[in-house]
Amino acid sequence: MSARPRTAFLVRVALVSVLACGGLTACGADEEDLLYATDYANHEPLGVVGYPTSESLRITQQLVWRLADGKAEEVEGLAADPDEARGDVERTARNWIRSFHEGAKGKVTAEFYDEGSVRQLVVVYFHDTGQTKSFTVHLTGMAGEDGWRVTMREPDPKQASSAPDWVPRTPGGLGSKTPR
């Protein structure tokens, strides 16, 4: 092979490599969207009250789906808490699954409180079991670069399964505004 055809061949190989790499990067987003769509199709629809952002809704749906599936490691993967709180996160995930697994498999309504540009309080109503759960979702990292996550610091089983005393019995009872 002369120098000129060999150079052209190497340029083509490099171009194909760059295009393939770019395609794989794009596949990551497509794969995430496909997983989300599959999860959406495989679970009971989530009722919504209040004004979630698309991302606060997405992380809440994912949490409810992971609770329904009983997948502790995947629940832990949604946590906002820093590495030094990993033990609390692991215990919280197990407590939440133990407490809300059955309810999460049925009809669920999530109420999103207040304005949610960077943080939002969410109350989830598990209709089949009559349980409620509140938690906070928020942007993590510098300028939200890590995306939306869930605060998980309830390693005590009683704390993890208890409903806050201010939560109305039915969604929308406070007009999606936290009591002041």
CA-closest candidate to residue 144, choices 59, 35, 32, 22: 59
Whether residue 180 lies inside any domain: the answer is no
**153 and 112 belong to one structural domain:** yes
**1 and 78 belong to one structural domain:** no
pTM score, whole prediction? 0.78
Cα distance between residue 48 and residue 29, in whole Å: 25
**31 and 120 belong to one structural domain:** no
**62 and 12 belong to one structural domain:** no
In this prediction, residue 23 carries a pLDDT of 46
Strand order in the sheet with 119-126: 46-50, 108-113, 119-126, 131-140, 147-150
In this prediction, residue 10 carries a pLDDT of 45
**23 and 66 belong to one structural domain:** no
For the chain, 180 residues long, give each residue's pLDDT as a single digit of tens: 555 555 555 445 444 444 444 444 445 668 878 888 888 888 888 999 999 999 999 999 999 999 999 999 999 999 987 666 778 899 999 999 999 999 999 999 999 998 888 999 999 999 999 999 999 999 887 555 678 999 998 889 998 898 888 888 889 888 877 776
CA-closest candidate to residue 60, choices 94, 96, 30: 96
Whether residue 74 lies inside any domain: the answer is yes
CATH number at residue 144: 3.10.450.50
In this prediction, residue 82 carries a pLDDT of 67
In this prediction, residue 131 carries a pLDDT of 95
**34 and 77 belong to one structural domain:** no
**77 and 155 belong to one structural domain:** yes
Backbone Cα Rg of the chain: 21
In this prediction, residue 127 carries a pLDDT of 96
**96 and 118 belong to one structural domain:** yes
In this prediction, residue 13 carries a pLDDT of 45
Domain count of the fold of the chain? 2
**57 and 145 belong to one structural domain:** yes
**56 and 31 belong to one structural domain:** no
For tokens 């995430």, name the residue.
Answer: 32
Instruction: List CB contacts of 123: < 8 A, sequence separation 6 or more.
Output: 110, 111, 113, 132, 133, 134, 164, 167, 171
